[in-house]
Amino acid sequence: MKKSRIGFLSGSALVVCLALGNAAIAAGDPARGAKAFQACAACHSVAPGEHMTGPSLANLWHRKAGTISDFLRYSEAMKRANVVWNEGTLDKWLANPDAFLPGTSMTFQGLREAKDREDLIAYLKAVSEGKRPAAGGKGQGMGMSMRKPDLKKAPAEGQVTAIAHCSDTYTVRTADGKVAKVWEFNLRFKTDSGKEGPSPGKPVIVGAGMQGDRASAGLSVIALRLSLLAPLAVFAGVAAVLAVGLTLNPREVPSPLIGRPVPKFDLPPVKGRTLGLASRDLGGEVSLVNVFASWCVACREEHPLLMDLHKRGVLPVHGLDYKDKPDDAASWLAEMGDPYTRTGADLDGRVAIDWGVYGVPETFVIGRDGRIAYKKIGPITPRIMREKLLPLIEQLRR
Ligand code: HEC
């Protein structure tokens, strides 16, 4: 963005020189306007149907303002404005958007020079007429240089297979087998349900600027496709970038492990118990694997439900004890009751990374075939138990 702004400034300086030397020229120059469009290209494309922060500016001419039906982010002010776009209205709009349409959500300070506006308007008109001029030396106009990478074709080093959060650090595992540790402040969750966005359930890690090299060490943005998740998809229209920390509800992040065999692991039991937990113990019968920790407050909430499953003998519940001190885990189970058939002490959290654990508690339903059938992030509630887990267990047993 910085780059395009600089480009624009030098472009306008050029325009001013030409205007002084050639005051007789009145009509705008679409080719120069294409350069001036760099000031808009961070938020607008001229390709039909391609919306960014702002709507596509294709076919703008003589169209009523605020009326592109698949652009969902117009302000009320724009929707209510009774404006048709032409030379006159565009000139006023681009000179000072706020003054022309108080309450608009276009945060653009306006183009001060009348000549710049004239050129830009000539360019937008040419675009509407299908006569888009090439911007100087930059191919098909600036919109093209803003092209987003196609995240459905992300290379293995960009495909995220697991994310774990601990203290102020995210541990991100990618399909090439590498593990990156990222300071949480440098990680943003982004959503993109568009053509170039990642496939559902297949998060991709990309560089901060969207243009960034995904293979570089500067892993700082994660793009997720969340369109299958209605509550977040609605949210995604309002806030394109959600700082993680505790803001984004990780409960809704789909797991790439669903339908896959449980990861290979072999853990010793929690202190004071005899049966450890390994991949070979899962399968043959339907079971639950519950990720817990003595330091996890939400685990207390769900604990009575696990005790109930255990007492009624509904199915084996196994515990994966995440990053716990052996003594703490032992006394927690002594105090709260022990619902687990087997336990695995994952002291350093490595096994949890393979399970794609985002945080504790998490609960996995394992089918007879040893595959993960379902995963619940966050505490189990009576409602989830009733409406999701028990029916699913029933179904998997058939
Ligand atoms: C920071 C982002 C941003 C920049 C930069 C920007 N716009 Fe916009 N633009 C928007 C947004 C957002 C809207 C919708 C405004 C609203 O609904 O109030 C918009 C709306 C418009 C519209 C109305 C479209 C319609 O469908 O009615 C036009 C025309 C427009 N912009 C032209 C431009 C031009 C030309 C530039 C460059 C000089 C520019 N904008 C720069 C974000 C931007």
Phi, psi of 165 (to 5 degrees): -120, 130
Does residue 65 form part of some domain? yes
> What stretches in the chain show pLDDT beneath 70?
1-26, 134-149, 183-188, 206-255
Crossing angle of helices 87-95 and 114-128, in 10° steps, is 130
Tell me: do 45 and 77 sit in the same domain. Answer: yes
Tell me: do 209 and 305 sit in the same domain. Answer: no
Instruction: Tell which one of 12, 91, 108 to mutate to probe ligand 1, the residue whose CB is within 8 A of the most ligand atoms.
Output: 108
Residue 185 is predicted with a pLDDT of 65
Q: Of 218, 248, 278, which one is at a domain's C-terminal end?
A: 248
Which positions ≥6 away from 360 have C-beta within 8 Å? 291, 292, 293, 296, 298, 299, 322
Whether 216 is in the pocket of ligand 1, judged by its Cβ within 6 Å, is no
Does residue 256 form part of some domain? no
Q: Of 121, 144, 167, which one is at a domain's C-terminal end?
A: 144
What is the domain range of residue 284? 266-397
Residue 109 is predicted with a pLDDT of 87
108 Cα: distance to centroid of ligand 1 (angstroms)? 8
Tell me: do 234 and 211 sit in the same domain. Answer: yes
Residue 268 is predicted with a pLDDT of 97
Nearest residue (CA) to ligand 1, atom 40: 40
For residue 306, what are the CA distances in angstroms to 126, 140, 295, 365? 67, 61, 17, 13
Does residue 3 form part of some domain? no
Nearest residue (CA) to ligand 1, atom 39: 40
Does residue 1 form part of some domain? no
Does residue 8 form part of some domain? no
Does residue 233 form part of some domain? yes
Tell me: do 334 and 354 sit in the same domain. Answer: yes
Structurally, the chain folds into a number of domains equal to: 3
Residue range 36-56, pLDDT digits in tens: 998 898 889 999 988 888 999
Tell me: do 129 and 160 sit in the same domain. Answer: no
Which positions ≥6 away from 22 have C-beta within 8 Å? none
Residue 173 is predicted with a pLDDT of 82
Quote the tokens at residue 51: 């919306």
104 Cα: distance to centroid of ligand 1 (angstroms)? 9
Does residue 387 form part of some domain? yes
40 Cα: distance to centroid of ligand 1 (angstroms)? 7
Residue 69's Cβ-count burial label (10 Å; 0-12, 13-18, 19+) is exposed
Q: Of 195, 221, 248, which one is at a domain's C-terminal end?
A: 248
242 Cα: distance to centroid of ligand 1 (angstroms)? 23
State the Cα–Cα distance between residues 342 and 371, nearest whole angstrom.
Answer: 18
Does residue 11 form part of some domain? no
Tell me: do 113 and 176 sit in the same domain. Answer: no
